[in-house]
Amino acid sequence: MSFPKAPKGTIAIEEAVLDPAGLSWISASAPLFNPGHRQTPPDSPSGSPPGSPTRHSHLTSLLQDVHTTRLQQMDTHGVEYMLLSLTSPGPQGETDPTKAATIAREANNWLAEQVKLNPARFGGLASVSMHNSAGAAAEAVRAVNELGFFGLIINDYQDSSPGAPNADKEGKIYYDGEGFHEFWKTVEELDVPVYLHPRYPAAQDLEPGTKWGDRKQILGAAVQFHLDLSTHVYALCSSGIFDLFPRVKVVIGHLGEGIPFNLWRADHWYNKPVKKATRPSKEDYTYYFTHNISITTSGNFNEPGLKFCIDQIGVERCLFSIDYPYDTIAEAQYWWHGVDLPADQKEMVARGNAIRLFKLPLDL
């Protein structure tokens, strides 16, 4: 069966969805969508405040929709293709390994069926539980080889329990240790990118008296997302993972979670003799950002910032994204149409780099 292709336009690769089973865990995130906002419906007819139950219900509807409002907006504003992925935190928010694996597997099965309905316009990034390396690797193999996914998405650290394998004293699992070598080896063999996406803090980190619990106004996309995820990315770069598995490809959104703007200083100190003699990695941060890591514009529609990133890590490592439905297709496309880049660079960022990196079934 053939499917009609859209005219060449932008390719957006950090675009969220929610499978029906996800309704059971997404409700826990509702109070966090606009931290500190009074959780009551609006009195005025002017619209729902971002943190309200009404707004949350609308957002959930947009996340569950693939083929109606989303596709209509894509057609209206010139988005050629979307890579879809389960919204954060997905399996990373589940402390029970069996339940987390089920969240990932059910979401992947559902998303694969959605993509089959219109593969000319949609592809998928697979979710994986990161409680253990072998399980994550197995689901990655299934999702790529059997379901046809073009990569993986992981929402920062994995919630677990203190004392669990690979977990730190707070019950968080990060992926820069030896316990995840099997996973990264499998990713390298599959030759697909891993998109590292932010997440809200674990429940215990939101209690009164904690760093985030007492400062909920800075939770989320504006501040906390990039602070937490950038730490994880720095850890991966400095761990030696990319030396052991040099063909691993990682993508991070929001103009690189702020890291490109700090690369000079990070390298300046990381390359000092005392640090260089003892660090686990062979190279500095800029090396890995120019060999293993790509960034996207998701939710960060900042032309000077994009141009700075192009200058720092190369245009071939910068990709367009929207972050729908947390940001709108209309806003992203309006911004993109006004971005002043040389024509060849604009084509690379808009679509060419994504086609090459994810090996998408689209014409260059």
Catalytic residue among 323, 340, 344, 363: 323
Distance between CA atoms of 288 and 239, rounded to whole angstroms? 11
Exposed (0-12), middle (13-18) or buried (19+): which is 182, by Cβ within 10 Å?
Answer: middle
Report the DSSP beta bridge partners of residue 293. 250
**172, 177, 224, 232: which is closest to 202 by C-alpha?**
172
Distance between CA atoms of 343 and 321, rounded to whole angstroms? 18
**316, 307, 326: which is closest to 221 by C-alpha?**
326
The residues, any chain, with a CB within 8 Å of residue 123's CB and separated by 6 or more, are 81, 82, 83, 84, 115, 149, 150, 358, 360, 361
CB burial of 47-84 (b: ≥16 within 10 Å; e: otherwise) equals ebbebbeebbeebbebbebbeeebbebbeebbbbbbbb
191 has catalytic annotation: no
Distance between CA atoms of 11 and 320, rounded to whole angstroms? 7
Active site residues per annotation: 323
